[in-house]
Amino acid sequence: MSLERFYTERVFLAGDKAWRTGRAFLLAKSALGKVSQWAYEASTGLFPGEPVPVGSYGEGLHLQAAGSSAGFDFLLPVRYNPQLAPVSGGLAEAPPRCKQALPTYIFRQEGLPLHRWGSQALLDLEALAEIYVEIHCHRQEARREDEDDETDLDKLEELEESLSHHNLEPKQILKDLHRCVQTALDPAYTHPRQNDPVFQRRLFPSRVPKIDHHIRGGFRLEALDLDGPAIQLTFNDGCDNVPVRLVPAVLGAFKLSNQWIREDLAHLSDWWDGDLTNERANFLRKARVVREVGPELVSKGGFWRLCFSRAETQLLEDIDADGGHRGAALRVLKFINMTRWTPEYGSILTSYHLKTILLWCCEIYPQTSQWETLLSSIQTLLRLLIHTLNKGNLPHYFLVSVNLFSRCYKSGNAIYRPLGLEALRCEAEVMLTNTMQYLMPDSEPQHDGAYEEMMAALRMFKEEHKEDLKELKRMEDGHMYESVEMSEAGEA
């Protein structure tokens, strides 16, 4: 079997599978459009926009393998006053002295400086109290008029009061959206505010689209996970159960400072020791796209975090316009990770890790020659994957100081993180040695001495670490780990 045939018969099925996937997406998008209008009304305007498709399907990088359903991801805009214009400030010294909520009634002409800790966007009230801001909140009644000598403390208390009364709190946003979606899918409701007496007295009640029983019967709202960024739903399209994620996000409000561009969009030379001929041009392209689209702010783990899904979608648009096979190569790696690596080791590598590898590869290898065939494209991705696994560092494409491989297992034993990365590095090296033999181990042997030697070494490695790898898989399956967002050097 040729590599191209392997791809079309196992990785990315065309025909009926492609039709069903496209149909499921359109049905989910249409239904969520109606649900979002109910959420807007139920939340009195908190969710004012239409869902924006992002993620693998939105980027055209999804799998269409047998027995798997492509999930769909959507951003749902959250209302935020554009006059507040948060601006990326410096790096936070530590999260505890900062606030996690986004203010809605604290104004400053140049925008509010947010600090960053990893991907977390934090408001430093002490720093904010030192600059002029306009605060909209009731002053504390106990405050005396003769406290002129305590102006700074007085202002800090005002900021605290304003933020406590007028804010977007990350976990509360998830709770509000979950409640609104639950109302939209509940057959007992004909209108999201039917039990609101103020709404009932309005002369011209607001209209919302009808959500029929097919939509309500086809969607199942999952239990709320306050540590994740999304409201999880499962959509039955008549053939498969398709996971759908609805992510509340603040869009278009965050402004990037020049300091952020210089410090966070760091150059490749900080971690890549190969040819950097095209570094400056690609760096400027990345910076331009981020300036145009801007990062989103999404709720995750109790913090507002920087997210770059729309920028990633724009950068990956038409990546194979030169006739290359970048997207297909990524799908092959996703397929191998889903069918072989994850079942054996757990989800050490995610779809986002592999997409980040592709983004870095497009920057490091812009030449068409690297991507002319599916085989050369897969091998290009594998080389960079091996490089990052060997270093134990996969830099976030937009926040280079954030290591996407930083994971702390709750066993307290420090061996599991490097052991997992080493196991995947060995797998990737064997795959690089003879890609066809690795992808199709049941096909007729090719008697490749180098491949057989590396495969024997891999088997010996797995036998030597059998018990530790079994424990690693158990912790992965039980999500018994924490992602550490700081680099190992301690930089933000």
- Bridge partners (DSSP) of residue 395 are 403
User: Which residue, 427, 354, 425, 329, is CA-closest to 386?
Assistant: 425
Q: Which residues pair with 408 in a beta bridge?
A: 482
Radius of gyration of the chain (CA): 25
Q: 28-50 burial by CB neighbour count: b if 16+ within 10 A, else e?
A: beebbebbbbbbbbbbeebbeee
Q: Which of 122, 156, 120 is nearest to 140 (CA)?
A: 156
CA 112/CA 109 separation, integer angstroms? 8
Determine the Cα–Cα distance for residues 3 and 19; give it in Å rounded to an integer. 23
| Neighbour tally for 212: CB within 10 Å | 12
The CA distances from residue 468 to 341, 450, 473, in Å, are 16, 27, 9
- Identify the DSSP state of 60: T
Pairing of strands 106-107, 102-103: unpaired
CA pair distance 491, 396, nearest whole angstrom: 13
CATH of 283-293+318-483, one of 1.10.1410.40, 3.40.50.1000, 3.40.50.300, 3.90.1200.10: 1.10.1410.40
- What is the model's pLDDT at position 470? 96
Q: How many CB atoms lie within 10 A of CB 186?
A: 12
| Residue appearing with tokens 């975090």 | 305
pTM over 0.75: yes
Q: In the prediction, which pLDDT does 484 show?
A: 65
Residues in the chain: 492
Q: Are 150 and 126 a contacting pair, CB within 8 Å?
A: no
Distance of alpha carbon 155 from alpha carbon 151, whole angstroms: 6
pLDDT score for 267: 66
- Give CA–CA dist 435/463, Å, rounded: 23
Q: Please say whether the beta carbons of 257 and 87 come within 8 A.
A: yes
What is the structure's pLDDT at 259? 67
Rounded CA gap, 231 and 245, in Å? Answer: 6
- Of the candidates 360, 368, 272, the residue with the CA atom closest to the CA atom of residue 316: 360
pLDDT at 457: 96
- The CATH number assigned to the domain with range 15-80+170-250 reads 3.30.460
d(CA 177, CA 76): 9
Task: Please state, in angstroms and rounded to a whole number, the distance separating the CA atoms of residues 425 and 391.
Answer: 10
Euclidean distance between CA atoms 341 and 296, whole angstroms: 31
Q: Hey, where are the domains in the chain?
A: 15-80+170-250, 84-97+108-163, 283-293+318-483
**Rounded distance, CA 281 to CA 366, Å?**
10
Name the residue with tokens 């709750």. 410
Between strands 72-77 and 241-250, the pairing is parallel
In order of 336, 346, 470, the CA distances from 343 in angstroms are 10, 6, 11
Mean pLDDT, the chain cut into blocks of 10 residues (492 residues total): 91 92 93 96 94 94 87 96 80 68 88 85 85 75 49 80 91 97 95 88 83 93 95 89 96 77 66 72 80 90 92 93 96 97 96 96 90 97 97 90 88 87 97 94 79 95 96 93 54 28
Burial zone of 373 (CB within 10 Å; 0-12 exposed, 13-18 middle, 19+ buried): middle
Cβ(434)–Cβ(443) below 8 Å: no
pLDDT of res. 221: 97
